[in-house]
Amino acid sequence: MRNFKFWATIVLAFALGLVGFLLGGLIDYKYRAIFALVGVLIGLLSFARLSLEIAKQFTHASKMFSHGVGHDESFGDQIIIDTSSIIDGRILDIGRTGFLCGTLLLPKFVLTELQQVADSADPVKRSRGRRGFDIVNRLKKIKGIKVKILGEDLQVGETVDEKLVNLARSFKAKLLTADFNLNRVAKIRSVQVLNINELSNSLKTLPVPGETITVKVLHKGKETDQGVGYLPDGTMVIIQDGSGLVGKEKAVEVSKILQVPSGRMVFGKITNS
């Protein structure tokens, strides 16, 4: 709509000028002067609009350049990565396969959050945080991936999640995450999300109902008669009448597969074979 009004103003200015030129010899002098004056005013308005558009584009380009952000066709799409996707570690494997390519935008507030994890008193968190920095350095060496750091002066929100979503919208970038809640918020805000967990779940080869699998019962389930085991890829298996078989490997016939927000669950029962 803004572009339509802009070009409509320019067309109107030229139209009035043309009318004044064609009718110049047919109308009174004072009317020719009015046509000329209106044409000049509209022409000045058009010039002002054009100058404003150029200034806006220049300001936007300067801001993008100052933060090291811009559309680089040689590196495809722009993807903002969060702390969860870095700590998760699978981003490195995805990048190596060639399925992840483009410019990875890494905000400085994400690095700050990663540093806080690396300085945690919890040895597990501390190890994950330090591994995260190593993953970032390895990502920079993968062919087809370019890592850019976004400046810390970007004031785009209060919480980290809010900043990530606003940045993705501002730069029209995708958001790579392994965070379930951030994934939901981003989708509500119409941001395209690359969710590592969803990718992992979609690649799992699951058994079909009626197929028999061998599962070790690791612990009791929520229901009194249920046992719980896991497939090699981590998929949970709920075993009917398996509560008394903890620690044993049993043949389980798959009865159904249920999709849940965290992934997929397999339900089955002990076979007699």
Q: Rounded mean pLDDT of 118-137?
A: 91
Q: Rounded mean pLDDT of 263-273?
A: 84
Whether 222 and 190 map to the same domain: the answer is no
Whether 191 and 211 map to the same domain: the answer is no
- Find the CATH number of the domain harbouring 236: 2.40.50.140
Whether 100 and 220 map to the same domain: the answer is no
Beta-strand runs (E) in the chain: 78-81, 102-107, 145-150, 174-177, 193-195, 212-216, 219-220, 227-230, 236-240, 249-260, 263-270
Whether 123 and 196 map to the same domain: the answer is yes
Q: Specify the 3-state DSSP secondary structure of 197.
A: helix
Task: Calculate what percentage of the chain has a pLDDT beyond 90.
Answer: 37
Q: What is the mean pLDDT of the chain?
A: 80
Residue located via tokens 């200034």: 55
Q: Is the pLDDT of residue 176 over 90?
A: yes
Whether 160 and 62 map to the same domain: the answer is no
Whether 8 and 128 map to the same domain: the answer is no
Q: Please tell me the total count of domains within the chain.
A: 3
- Confidence band, pLDDT 50/70/90 cuts, at residue 223: confident
Whether 79 and 173 map to the same domain: the answer is yes
- Confidence band, pLDDT 50/70/90 cuts, at residue 244: confident
**Between 55 and 104, residue with greater pLDDT:** 104
Q: Which residues have C-beta within 8 Å of that of residue 46, sequence separation ≥ 6?
A: 6, 9, 10, 13
pLDDT tens digit string along 63-110? 544 444 454 444 458 999 999 999 988 899 899 988 888 899 999 999
CA distance 142 to 156: 30
**Between 263 and 68, residue with greater pLDDT:** 263
Whether 175 and 188 map to the same domain: the answer is yes
Whether 120 and 45 map to the same domain: the answer is no
- Find the CATH number of the domain harbouring 108: 3.40.50.1010
Whether 197 and 128 map to the same domain: the answer is yes
Mark which of 20, 47, 66 sits at the end of a domain: 66
Full domain range(s) for residue 15: 2-66
Mark which of 202, 223, 243 sits at the end of a domain: 202
pLDDT tens digit string along 62-76? 554 444 445 444 445
Mark which of 183, 202, 221 sits at the end of a domain: 202
Parallel/antiparallel/unpaired status of strands 249-260 and 263-270 = antiparallel
Whether 218 and 174 map to the same domain: the answer is no
Q: Specify the 3-state DSSP secondary structure of 100.
A: coil
**Complete edge-to-edge strand list for the sheet that includes strand 236-240:** 212-216, 249-260, 263-270, 236-240, 227-230, 219-220
Query: What's residue 101's pLDDT?
Result: 83
Q: Is the pLDDT of residue 167 over 80?
A: yes
> Nearest-CA neighbor of 35 among 22, 54, 48, 52?
22
Q: For 127, list phi and psi in degrees, rounded to 5.
A: -65, -40
Whether 151 and 255 map to the same domain: the answer is no
